[in-house]
Structure 1
Amino acid sequence: MPLVRIDLVSGKSKDYQQKVGEVVYQALLYALNVPEHDRFQVITEHPLEQMPFDRDYQGVHRTDDCIFIQITLNAGRDVEQKKRFYKAVADGLHDAVNLRREDMFISLVEVPKENWSFGNGEAQYA
C-alpha cells in the first residue's frame, strides 16, 4: 500500500503531471511488487520559492524542474529492489516527460503493515 506524494514546481501541464504519476505507479509495480490497482497519489504544485533545495547536494546538479517524490510503503523491500525502483523512475521520467535524471529526489518511508487503514475505521493488515 504505497501512498505517493509528488511535489513539483507550478506551471507543468496536467498531462505532464499525469505522466509523472503513471511512471511512478508503473515503477512500483515493476520494481517493488506493489499489487495492481494499489494506486494512491497526491500531486501538488508549488511556486519555486516554496520548494527550496540544494542545487548541488551529493554532487548532483539540480535545476528548477526538480521534483520531489515521497512514498510511504510497507517495510520489507531489499536494497536491490529499491535501486531497481529508483532507476525505473529515473529512466521512465526521462523518457516520458524529458526530465533530467538529476532533477528527481526520491524518498521511501517504510512503515509496519498495521499502520494502514483503507477505510471503515479498520486496520485491514493488522
Structure 2
Amino acid sequence: MPMVRISLPAGKDAGFAKGVSDAVQDAMVATIDVPAADRFHVIADYPAGRLVIDPTYLGIERGAGALIIEITMRGGRTVEKKKALYRAIADNLHARFGVRRQDVMIVLTENELIDWSFGNGEAQYVKD
C-alpha cells in the first residue's frame, strides 16, 4: 500500500519518469513485500530552483540529476528491510539509467492502517 512521490529535475522524458517508477516499484516488491499490483505513484518534475537538494550534505557529492523519492507506508518493516529497499532503489536506477547512487535521496514516512482510504470514503483496512 505504499504511496510514492518522485521528484525529478526538469528535462527528463516520460520514459525516464516511468522507468524511475518501475525501478522503485520493483525494489519495493523485492525488499519490503509490496504486492506487484499495489502501485500508487505521483511523479513531478521541477525546473531549476524548484527542486533544491544540497550538493554536499553529509559529504555526499550530488549532481544536477539528483532526485527525491518519498515513500509513505504502513509501519512495521525492519531496519534491514528498509536498508535493502534503499540499496535496491539506488542499484535499480543506476543499472537501468546510469543514475548516480549519490543522486538518489529516499525518505520513508510510516503510518497506521486507519490512515488509508482507497476510495468510496471508506477505511478499507479497518474493520468496524
- TM-score in terms of structure 1 length: 0.98
Following TM superposition, the consecutive aligned residue runs of length 4 or more in structure 1 with deviations greater than 3 angstroms are none
Q: Deviations over 1:9-61 (max 9, x none)?
A: 11001111111000000001000101220000001010021011211111101
Tell me the equivalent position of 1:113: 113
Equivalents in 1 of 2:48, 2:110: separation in Å?
28
Please give the secondary structure, in 2, of the residue aligned with 1:49. coil
Tell me the equivalent position of 1:11: 11
- What are the ranges of 5 or more consecutive residues in structure 1 without an aligned counterpart? none
Could you tell me which amino acid in structure 2 is paired with residue 108 of structure 1? L
- What are the ranges of 5 or more consecutive residues in structure 2 without an aligned counterpart? none
- The percentage of counterpart residues that share the same residue type is 43
Conserved 8 A contact 1:74-1:111: yes
Equivalents in 2 of 1:83, 1:61: separation in Å?
20
Could you tell me which amino acid in structure 2 is paired with residue 38 of structure 1? D
Equivalents in 2 of 1:71, 1:96: separation in Å?
20
Q: State the number of aligned residues.
A: 126
Deviation at residue 113 of structure 1 after TM alignment: 1.1
Equivalents in 2 of 1:11, 1:89: separation in Å?
21
Whether 1:33 and 2:27 are equivalent positions in the alignment is: no
- TM-score in terms of structure 2 length: 0.96
RMSD between aligned residues: 0.6
Could you tell me which amino acid in structure 2 is paired with residue 42 of structure 1? V
Q: Deviations over 1:97-125 (max 9, x none)?
A: 11000001000000011100000111011
Equivalents in 2 of 1:49, 1:28: separation in Å?
30
Please give the secondary structure, in 1, of the residue aligned with 2:49. helix
